[in-house]
A and B are shown apart, each in its own frame.
Chain A
């Protein structure tokens, strides 16, 4: 007998399908089988060379491979090839594989079965599991304990239950008893159980939790073993929340009896400290029920208390305190030891919880026997160090000690000034220029997945490069072109794309393309280099400062294409970003002498960078300029630069959440709201209360007034003005302006106009209360910048301090600390406080987040500024009919700040709260603050 050829295989399959293949190989020797291997490999190569999936070829490859490839290991390897995944997806194909192997050498079965099972993963196809399972059953080996194998069994039951109930399917499977405990060994099965149960809420007969319970109750499954397996899973830990939910469902379905729980007290106790909250909750509930039935010793109760009370979850801690409160009555003779565990709560950062813990101790202390009271007192005294400052006096009073003096009275009230920024040295030579350009490309490039820049934008680095390019361009154009040509070749393919036209990385590409004198005929570069109109893709939503920043870079690119070496007027001469007025006048004079007109964006940018105080000698020289640009510059220098447009904070109706914007009420349906901002806010809340508040919201947005005469004359300066209805464009801007990290560049667009830039930036920061879009990196730069602060700055910082994500808030706190360190009359923290209060009252910001941020700032010594901020914030919160949940924290913070900075003042509404009835923490903090302010 000879081995069939590959065409025999194809012919046989064509007539009889997979079942026709085994007879071809029956009785062949191993040597004869080997002769087909080259054909087989060639067929596989042919198959993988095409991108089509052809089931018939796959089946032939799989079965013939099983018949011909050498050795049990070789066959297993063949059957688990990635390119043959799931080939045996029909009964006939699987039987064919099984038949060829048994015909060949039945002794291989156990080895192949084990190997197939070992190769299964959680992502394996079900057909591959079925094949492996066929071998496992045929070989009669013990159930392989691999995750992939167990998961496959789980799925197979899921399929079988379709023909009845899950209980029937499990009942019919004689291996169920062995498999069920193994299910708990596979961490990722949790999510499958969870989604399965959620999808089958209507059909309880398909739910695993119920089915396993039924089987366990009828002893088809070993109930104790199953419960132990679940608890072991809990102990070993489950990392993903979805998996936690699934295992929790299984546990809940089991309805563990008290007797079962009593036998497992130690396990439950060990689950308390480290396991996921859901499991700790289970353990806590089980132990509490046992304790109520008198099943726990005091030692166990104490261990449970210590473990749970150290956990960060407030819910668990509260439940434990309630339990301890009850238990103290039950274990009267050792109540002191039981209650002493509440001191563990003092490691918690929440003063509310600490107060609750202290109250629990205080409630029982008078009723305790002398020795137990002493135990509790000693323990309380020992942890007095840990307790929140606001509770220290209460604790001292409770244990009968003298009230400790507040030790935080002395100390600085302002954070230290950060080191001033220094202007980096100009770029020295072509080598450094190429380096810096490479760096800029690397840092402005977007991460392709997140769309965010990979590093924070550095406006000073960009200015250095622009200056270096213009300088080298003036010195030796040819050498510059040669040096940057490789960079151009590398980046042009990306940066010339139209969607890069409105981004900094695109502008950088244009600069390099222009300097290399090669690029220019592709994509948006054509628009840039051929015409003289705007090269941006039309987007009215691009914020003004960003437009100026980009258009100016585009103009530099155009300059680099010309042989002319004109003076660079906008070069920053100090770290704040101001130009040197003397150099500006000299530059303009050079233009006049050459009979040329300055580049408009260069001049416009230079004028935006004019310092306030200019040497009279320079002014005199400026007056001698004769060109219209020269005269305009001279006039502006005399006027002390642009006075800037008016910035204000207003309230606008916006849709909420942001993605829905087409359903905003038309103008006729909008509330007619007038008056001061506070009156408008009050009216808006009434209006909202009558409507579906989850669809609309009122945002605080900054408006920028129209350009004044001097600004209107200049197209660069006027681009920063006139944002009068930000409500209309707010949503669009949020959608379209993605380069938030690049707002850093804006700081050098108008160095002396901080509030204006902050107002523009605030637009992008509005959404931070709801998501972590980032962009707060601009806040520390604004804080360190020159120029007045005002409503725009207040709004930008308000949104930063109230941001949802800790990482966004961290930037805001850093900026706030710089502002606080600089102090002075220039910045009014109370204005920031008022803006925060307005945003909180409008429901756009959570006061708790602000409190967290301010607590961090106070830890860094920003007492003075924070106190002033709170004088703006607190009165408005105190006036609210519903007490804000963060009020107590803010009052406590205010007390700390007022004490340290020695402030004496009257806060409207404080006295009323301090005099209120009830012992809530807010009332007590109000009293404490009142005392601090009047003492």
Chain B
């Protein structure tokens, strides 16, 4: 598996320090990242107070927990730091589990903060054991001062050793982190539970199981069913929601999002959002505890489309860390149709340059502070499909195709979403997008159609 090492440099460790008046102040240290003023080594986004410190501390711990966990192999801890975005009127803390199957985001909304937003941009935020302890010790109702990023004085005068972290950054982790946004953009609200019902439901979930449950809305709460039915939301590996229990006692509501499902359908991803005072904590879980988001194939169609790349560049130039990206406005500015803007946003999503907020059903601008430049080109299935096409291994015959794979020849049927006789397709039946053979056949068919139209134009 391809993996690179990512170096993070923080000025000093994040910590709770005593402020000038003696009250505790949370200083979250930032690593380098892109901001509205370009690349910055220690960007500063916010200084002010959190209005619900206990809930916020719980939410931050939940985000940090997800970053440090591999849900499929819990004995191996992950060592990744969350990502923070100064997003106009709000702060967003994001993390992605080491197994690539759980995405967590704490949105601290305007109502949850009382202070000054000093900048916009995205960067990593340092989390360490003493900080966790300090966060666990946050209590009482007094507002807590928090600073995201060091102030200028500290940057220029600090002479202690900087904190350096080297973390492995597997390619599939990075791809999953980016693609989960695109997957979430297909979700709709399926259920809303009050605080008590939410606590009861989340506690009633079976522990230590990796099985797939379907949560069916029933009488103000959710019922765990064994099979999909319209309106149900899939919950694969219910244990993976345990990070939510940290903030459960501060919760005012639980909202559940998922794609539309038919009766008897296979497992799906879903998003679980806990409403907190002035904040929202959302966990998005993959369709199977054993697999991450990277292989879901939701983005293949967009990536395979050659026109989307130019549109994406155009749209990217217009983004400026908006907390809500308005598609209509972008369409006007860019001169593209809303459909093409949407396709361009999908493509930006796969490159880690945009996030999706299910609660507001809107994209928001943020640029993952990792080298994501080539991520979209590295999609293995697309890469393999292109190789199959380049090596002329695809022969089209009307609605079907024969693809000569590495070990066998596969029969591909192009009708509908396409299907194949390979084992991978048999295992997922289109639930994770097309296989490389179907994709190769589609690419060939599209190329053939383009050729035909060019010939017609010439004629």
Interface residues of A (CB under 8 A from B): 185, 232, 235-237, 239, 266-267, 269-270, 273-274, 303, 306-307, 310, 312, 346-349, 385-386, 418-419, 430-432, 434-435, 438-439, 441-442, 486, 776-777, 780, 805-807, 810-811, 813-814, 856, 859-861
25 contacts between A and B (CB under 8 A): A236-B132, A236-B133, A239-B74, A266-B137, A303-B140, A306-B249, A310-B199, A310-B249, A347-B196, A386-B195, A419-B263, A430-B411, A431-B421, A434-B421, A435-B419, A435-B425, A435-B426, A438-B422, A441-B426, A442-B427, A806-B204, A806-B206, A807-B211, A810-B225, A859-B219
Report chain A residues within 8 Å CB of B79: none
Rank and list the top 3 A-B pairs by shortest CB-CB distance, nearest first. A438-B426, A806-B206, A810-B226
Beyond the given A236-B136, A806-B224, please list 8 additional residue pairs across the A-B interface where CB-CB is below 8 A: A266-B137, A267-B137, A270-B136, A347-B195, A442-B427, A486-B409, A807-B213, A856-B218
Do B223 and A431 have beta carbons less than 8 Å apart? no
Q: Does B221 contact A (CB under 8 A)?
A: yes
Contacts A307-B249, A805-B206 given: A235-B137 contact, CB under 8 Å? yes
Closest Cβ–Cβ distance, residue B89 to chain A (whole Å): 30
Do A274 and B136 have beta carbons less than 8 Å apart? yes
Report chain A residues within 8 Å CB of B139: 266, 269-270, 303
Do A435 and B420 have beta carbons less than 8 Å apart? yes
Do B196 and A386 have beta carbons less than 8 Å apart? yes
- Using CB atoms, name the residue of chain A closest to B136: A235
Do B225 and A814 have beta carbons less than 8 Å apart? yes
Closest Cβ–Cβ distance, residue A436 to chain B (whole Å): 9
Do B136 and A811 have beta carbons less than 8 Å apart? no
**Per-residue CB proximity of B81-94 to A under 8 Å, as 1/0?**
00000000000000
- Determine the distance from Cα of A248 to Cα of B246 in the docked complex, in whole angstroms: 22
- Determine the distance from Cα of A379 to Cα of B277 in the docked complex, in whole angstroms: 20
Q: Does B165 contact A (CB under 8 A)?
A: no
Report chain B residues within 8 Å CB of A430: 411
Residue among A312, A346, A432 facing the most chain B CB atoms (10 A cut-off): A312
Closest Cβ–Cβ distance, residue B176 to chain A (whole Å): 22
- Determine the distance from Cα of A346 to Cα of B429 in the docked complex, in whole angstroms: 45
Contacts A312-B203, A811-B226 given: A435-B249 contact, CB under 8 Å? no
Q: Does B227 contact A (CB under 8 A)?
A: yes
Do B223 and A859 have beta carbons less than 8 Å apart? yes
Report chain B residues within 8 Å CB of A486: 408-409
Do A807 and B137 have beta carbons less than 8 Å apart? no
Contacts A236-B129, A806-B206 given: A860-B413 contact, CB under 8 Å? no
- Determine the distance from Cα of A811 to Cα of B213 in the docked complex, in whole angstroms: 10
Report chain B residues within 8 Å CB of A777: 226
Contact of B133 among A235, A811, A813 (CB under 8 A): A235
Do B221 and A859 have beta carbons less than 8 Å apart? yes
Contacts A432-B413, A435-B421 given: A814-B227 contact, CB under 8 Å? yes
Contact of A418 among B132, B194, B229 (CB under 8 A): B229
Contact of B426 among A232, A439, A806 (CB under 8 A): A439
Contact of B225 among A312, A419, A434, A813 (CB under 8 A): A813
Do A807 and B426 have beta carbons less than 8 Å apart? no
- Using CB atoms, name the residue of chain B closest to A232: B133
Q: Does B351 contact A (CB under 8 A)?
A: no
Do B249 and A273 have beta carbons less than 8 Å apart? yes
Report chain A residues within 8 Å CB of B196: 346-347, 386
Q: Does B216 contact A (CB under 8 A)?
A: yes
- Using CB atoms, name the residue of chain B closest to A303: B139
Do A349 and B203 have beta carbons less than 8 Å apart? yes
Do B74 and A807 have beta carbons less than 8 Å apart? no
Per DSSP, chain B at the interface is: mixed
Report chain A residues within 8 Å CB of B225: 810, 813-814
Do A807 and B136 have beta carbons less than 8 Å apart? no
Closest Cβ–Cβ distance, residue B33 to chain A (whole Å): 28
Q: Place the interface of chain B in its size category.
A: 35 or more
Closest Cβ–Cβ distance, residue B68 to chain A (whole Å): 11
**Per-residue CB proximity of B25-40 to A under 8 Å, as 1/0?**
0000000000000000
Q: Does B7 contact A (CB under 8 A)?
A: no
Closest Cβ–Cβ distance, residue B55 to chain A (whole Å): 11
Report chain B residues within 8 Å CB of A814: 225-227
Report chain A residues within 8 Å CB of B226: 776-777, 780, 807, 810-811, 813-814
- Determine the distance from Cα of A307 to Cα of B58 in the docked complex, in whole angstroms: 13
Residue among B58, B221, B411 facing the most chain A CB atoms (10 A cut-off): B411
- Determine the distance from Cα of A312 to Cα of B248 in the docked complex, in whole angstroms: 11
Q: Does B185 contact A (CB under 8 A)?
A: no
Do B199 and A347 have beta carbons less than 8 Å apart? yes
Q: Does B456 contact A (CB under 8 A)?
A: no
**Per-residue CB proximity of B114-157 to A under 8 Å, as 1/0?**
00000000000000010011001101100000000000000000
Do B419 and A270 have beta carbons less than 8 Å apart? no
Residue among B132, B194, B419, B421 facing the most chain A CB atoms (10 A cut-off): B421
Contact of A442 among B129, B199, B426 (CB under 8 A): B426
- Determine the distance from Cα of A267 to Cα of B139 in the docked complex, in whole angstroms: 10
Contacts of B400-458 to chain A: CB distance below 8 A = 400, 408-409, 411, 413, 419-423, 425-427, 429
Report chain A residues within 8 Å CB of B137: 235, 266-267, 270
Closest Cβ–Cβ distance, residue A345 to chain B (whole Å): 10
Report chain B residues within 8 Å CB of A434: 411, 421
Closest Cβ–Cβ distance, residue A894 to chain B (whole Å): 17
Do B213 and A856 have beta carbons less than 8 Å apart? no
Do A349 and B249 have beta carbons less than 8 Å apart? no
Do B426 and A860 have beta carbons less than 8 Å apart? no
Report chain B residues within 8 Å CB of A435: 411, 413, 419-421, 425-426
Report chain B residues within 8 Å CB of A348: 200
Closest Cβ–Cβ distance, residue B222 to chain A (whole Å): 9
Report chain A residues within 8 Å CB of B408: 486
- Using CB atoms, name the residue of chain B closest to A387: B196
- Determine the distance from Cα of A441 to Cα of B425 in the docked complex, in whole angstroms: 12
Do A856 and B136 have beta carbons less than 8 Å apart? no
- Determine the distance from Cα of A597 to Cα of B132 in the docked complex, in whole angstroms: 78
Do A431 and B426 have beta carbons less than 8 Å apart? no
Q: Does B4 contact A (CB under 8 A)?
A: no
- Determine the distance from Cα of A814 to Cα of B263 in the docked complex, in whole angstroms: 13
- Determine the distance from Cα of A121 to Cα of B420 in the docked complex, in whole angstroms: 45
- Using CB atoms, name the residue of chain B closest to A860: B218
- Determine the distance from Cα of A61 to Cα of B69 in the docked complex, in whole angstroms: 38
Report chain B residues within 8 Å CB of A441: 426
Closest Cβ–Cβ distance, residue B436 to chain A (whole Å): 15
- Determine the distance from Cα of A306 to Cα of B249 in the docked complex, in whole angstroms: 9
- Determine the distance from Cα of A347 to Cα of B426 in the docked complex, in whole angstroms: 45
Q: Does B209 contact A (CB under 8 A)?
A: yes
Closest Cβ–Cβ distance, residue B134 to chain A (whole Å): 9
Report chain A residues within 8 Å CB of B194: 385
- Using CB atoms, name the residue of chain B closest to A812: B226
Report chain A residues within 8 Å CB of B420: 435
Closest Cβ–Cβ distance, residue B289 to chain A (whole Å): 13
Closest Cβ–Cβ distance, residue A743 to chain B (whole Å): 14
- Using CB atoms, name the residue of chain A closest to B139: A270
- Using CB atoms, name the residue of chain A closest to B245: A274
- Using CB atoms, name the residue of chain B closest to A307: B249
Report chain A residues within 8 Å CB of B400: 431
Report chain A residues within 8 Å CB of B422: 438
- Using CB atoms, name the residue of chain A closest to B420: A435
- Determine the distance from Cα of A162 to Cα of B218 in the docked complex, in whole angstroms: 62
Do A807 and B411 have beta carbons less than 8 Å apart? no
Do A442 and B423 have beta carbons less than 8 Å apart? yes
Report chain B residues within 8 Å CB of A806: 204-206, 209, 224
Do B413 and A431 have beta carbons less than 8 Å apart? yes
- Determine the distance from Cα of A12 to Cα of B263 in the docked complex, in whole angstroms: 76
Closest Cβ–Cβ distance, residue A772 to chain B (whole Å): 9
- Determine the distance from Cα of A349 to Cα of B225 in the docked complex, in whole angstroms: 19
- Determine the distance from Cα of A861 to Cα of B421 in the docked complex, in whole angstroms: 43
Report chain B residues within 8 Å CB of A432: 413, 419
